[in-house]
Copies of this chain bind each other. A is one copy, B any other.
Amino acid sequence: MHLKEKLVKEFNEGLPFHRWLGIEVVGVEIGSVETQINWREEFGHYPGYLHAGLVGTLIETACGFSGLTVTDEKHVATSFSVNFLRPAVGDIFLARAQVTKSGRLQIFTRCDLFVVSGGKERLVANGETIFCVLPEA
């Protein structure tokens, strides 16, 4: 396990909200991260649909993890956005985030969210997160 993978996994496991959600970090490369969760009834919005706020959480979180892989500088989220493309209904939700541009002042990331079912992936949402790099104190 390389250094950045260790960092992302430890950060993920340290957050109680991520543990409640059961977020698992399933892939870490420099510039891209995959996470997934298993559906539970208590995540529902309309019956069987993953709550829009949790769709956003999975996207923003995976984006943030991808940012961790490209810089050691401290950075915070400026903004994030989510598009709901198809009903977020399924047993496994897989978030695949990547860094679009990592700069000195800002990091731009994007993420696709898939439902995995019977070994097939279906894109149900996508989104973006922009991070602002904090100057050293």
Contact = CB atoms under 8 A, between A and B. Distances in A.
Copies in the complex: 4
B52 A80 contact: yes
Interface residues of A, number: 43
Contact of A80 (B17, B41, B56, B126): B56
Contacts of A108: 83, 85, 126
A10 B101 CA distance: 33
Main secondary structure of the interface of A (DSSP, over half): mixed
Interface in A76-120: 76-86, 100-101, 103, 105-106, 108
B44 A53 contact: no
Contacts of A103: 85-86
A105 B52 CA distance: 19
Given A15-B51, A60-B52, A82 B81 contact: yes
Contact of A54 (B41, B53, B101, B106): B53
B79 A81 contact: yes
A8 to B, nearest CB: 14
9 nearest A-B pairs in the assembled complex, by CB-CB distance: A53-B57, A81-B81, A16-B42, A56-B56, A85-B101, A79-B83, A52-B60, A52-B77, A17-B51
Interface of A: 15-17, 20, 41-45, 51-54, 56-58, 60-61, 64, 76-86, 100-101, 103, 105-106, 108, 123, 126, 128, 130, 132, 134-135
